[in-house]
C-alpha cells in the first residue's frame, strides 16, 4: 500500500495532474502530516499534506482578519519551501511550489476537514550527495506532532517517522 501511494505521488508529479480526488496523500489525522519523497536522478519530488488544524488552528473559511492573516502566512511558509532543506552537498535548487489550501474558501462544507497540500520539486546538481533532508515543519507549525515520510528512491521504498526530536530524513541506506 505504501509503495502504491508513493508511486501515485511520482505519477502525479510527473504528469502534473493533481485532481481534487487525487490530492490527499494520506489520512487526515490531526497532529500528523504526510510527506512523500521521490528521488529519481537529479530530481527530488516532494508532496506534503498537513491538516489545516495543525497549520492554522482551524478548518473553515477565515472568520476574521486574524484568521485571514494566519491562513496567508501558512500558505506563504509552505510555498517558500524553507521547511524542507536538502543536504547542501547535493546542490539542489527548488522550483516554485504549488500550495492548495482546501476547505478554507466559501465552497467549504460546514464541519468538513481543511488541509494544505504542497507539491514541490528540486533539481540537484550532485544527486549522488543527496543523503538527507532536514524538515522544519515542527518549528513552522508547533501544533504538528509527527510527520510520516514515505520515500521512493533507487534502492526501493521506505518509511520514516519524524517527531520534534528527529527532523532529518535519511535518503541513503
* Concatenated DSSP letters of the chain: -HHHHHHHHHHHHHHT---GGG---S--BTTEEEEEEEEETTEEEEEEEEEHHHHHS--SS--SHHHHHHHHHHHHHHHH-TTEEE-GGG-EEEPPPEEEEET-STTPPTT---EEEEEEEEEES-GGG--EEEE-HHHH-TT--EEEEEEEETTEEEEEEEBTTB-EEE---
**Triad 75, 3, 155: Cα angle to 5°:** 100
Would the pLDDT of 6 be above 60?
no
Q: Where are the domains of the chain?
A: 40-170
Q: pTM of this prediction?
A: 0.82
17-37 confidence digits (pLDDT tens):
333 334 445 577 899 999 999
Residue 172, pLDDT score: 74
pLDDT digits (tens, 9 = 90+) for 80-110: 989 999 999 999 999 999 999 999 988 888 8
**What is the predicted pLDDT for the residue at 107?**
85
* Mean per-residue pLDDT, 13-17: 42
At 124-172, the pLDDT tens digits run 999 999 999 999 999 999 999 999 999 999 889 999 999 999 999 999 7
Amino acid at each position: 500500500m505504501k509503495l502504491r501511494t508513493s508511486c501515485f505521488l511520482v505519477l502525479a508529479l510527473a504528469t502534473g495532474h493533481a485532481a481534487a480526488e487525487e490530492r490527499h496523500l494520506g489520512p487526515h489525522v490531526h497532529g500528523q502530516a504526510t510527506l512523500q519523497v521521490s528521488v529519481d536522478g537529479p530530481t527530488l519530488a516532494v508532496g506534503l499534506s498537513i491538516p489545516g488544524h495543525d497549520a492554522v488552528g482551524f478548518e473553515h473559511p477565515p472568520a476574521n482578519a486574524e484568521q485571514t492573516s494566519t491562513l496567508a502566512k501558512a500558505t506563504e511558509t509552505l510555498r517558500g519551501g524553507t521547511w524542507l532543506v536538502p543536504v547542501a552537498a547535493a546542490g539542489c535548487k527548488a522550483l516554485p511550489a504549488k500550495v492548495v489550501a482546501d476547505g478554507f474558501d466559501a465552497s467549504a462544507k460546514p464541519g468538513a476537514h481543511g488541509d494544505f497540500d504542497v507539491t514541490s520539486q528540486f533539481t540537484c546538481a550532485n544527486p549522488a550527495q543527496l543523503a538527507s533532508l532536514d524538515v522544519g515543519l515542527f518549528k513552522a507549525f508547533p501544533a504538528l506532532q509527527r510527520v510520516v515520510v514515505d520515500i521512493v528512491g533507487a534502492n526501493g521504498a521506505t518509511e520514516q517517522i519524524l517527531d520534534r526530536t528527529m527532523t532529518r530524513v535519511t535518503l541513503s541506506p
